[in-house]
Amino acid sequence: MTVHGLLERALGAVERWQVLDAPGYQVEHGVSLTFLLAGRYARPLQDLLHGVWLGHPLHPALVTVPVGAWAAALVLDGLDAAGRGGPGTGQAARTVVGIGVAGAVASAATGFTDWQHAHDGARRVGLAHAALNSTALALYAWSLRDRGRGRARRARLSGAAGFAVTLASSWLGGALAYRHGLGTDHADRSPEPRRFTAVADESDLVEGEAVGVEVDGRPLVLVAQAGTVRAVGGRCPHLGAPLGEGWLHRGELVCPWHGSRFDLDSGEPAQGPSTAPLPCYDTRLRDGRVEVRRRAHWRTPTAVTTVEEASR
């Protein structure tokens, strides 16, 4: 069997491993309870950990800290073990192991915050990923303690074991992102339609409500509000929820699955878990029809045609 085949079988086994479901719910309850205890700070805290402020999931950016620090420690330990290190090599290794431990704790907080919305196979893979990361963290914490007590050989061994576990866990993390799409952008970013295209009758619009329509087979949401019509993408960037089933809250479009809120002018998430903006469309009303055109760039202002202008 090829390496690829072996990895596929291993991943498939984790995805189908239902024994992980019960502890998965326990962990999810623990995450929910933690945020519940944060009270009114829960939402901003979750947005911070998701990376809404960054416009990108924070977790994959943060994991580079422990992986990079521990890789450096592995090299320094290798030099030390081979007798090629200098007088400060041991201390340098201890420092980078400590940096990695701190980075791993921060990464775990962002990872659990993202994971709480995963389902089925992704949920199981995420839990296995978390279990391996916790094992690696424990090994490095042990290694750090041994380094402080002068047990260099044992510290190097537990560090090397921790790095092997980290590699296995990174592979599962990659499967979570690239196979299950956790943290990737699920919005439709097609540049079409480039010309104004009719998508609905003006009479289909309902004041203050999200109306789901399609353009060239892609879902879109129309919102008529205070005499204007706005159009945004109909798939939530977080996990692809149908935003045509969403609703408005204080003028923002709310995702029906996990509550992301989007500004209708910029498409930007005002609240996570989505970290990516919605695609926006220019709109105009012609002969009783609503027409849309993909906005050239998400930062360009929307050309919103008001109902009054159209009827003049």
Binding positions for ligand FES, rule: CB under 6 A = 117, 236, 238-239, 241, 255, 257-258, 260, 273-274
Residue 237: CB minimum distance to ligand FES, A:
8
Residue 40: CB minimum distance to ligand FES, A:
20
Which residues are CB-neighbours of 7 under 8 A, at least 6 positions away? 171
Residue 260: CB minimum distance to ligand FES, A:
4
Q: State the pairing for strand pair 289-294/280-286.
A: antiparallel
Q: How far apart are CA 166 and CA 234, in angstroms?
A: 38
Residue 250: CB minimum distance to ligand FES, A:
17
Largest Cα separation within the chain, whole Å, is: 85
Residue 196: CB minimum distance to ligand FES, A:
28
3-state SS of 230-287 is: EEEECECCCCCCEHHHCEEECCEEECCCCCCEECCCCCCEEECCCCCCCCEEEEEEEC
The smaller minimum CB distance to ligand FES, of residues 94 and 117, is found at 117
Residue 273: CB minimum distance to ligand FES, A:
5
The smaller minimum CB distance to ligand FES, of residues 53 and 145, is found at 53
The smaller minimum CB distance to ligand FES, of residues 165 and 187, is found at 187
Cα 101 to chain centroid distance, Å, stands at 22
The smaller minimum CB distance to ligand FES, of residues 122 and 241, is found at 241
The smaller minimum CB distance to ligand FES, of residues 235 and 294, is found at 235
Q: H-helix or E-strand containing 202?
A: none
Q: How far apart are CA 224 and CA 236, in angstroms?
A: 19
The amino acid occupying position 157 is L
The smaller minimum CB distance to ligand FES, of residues 76 and 221, is found at 221
The smaller minimum CB distance to ligand FES, of residues 70 and 262, is found at 262
Residue 240: CB minimum distance to ligand FES, A:
6
Q: How far apart are CA 15 and CA 120, in angstroms?
A: 8
Q: Where are the alpha helices (DSSP H) in the chain?
A: 3-16, 21-37, 42-50, 58-62, 64-81, 89-115, 120-148, 152-178, 307-311
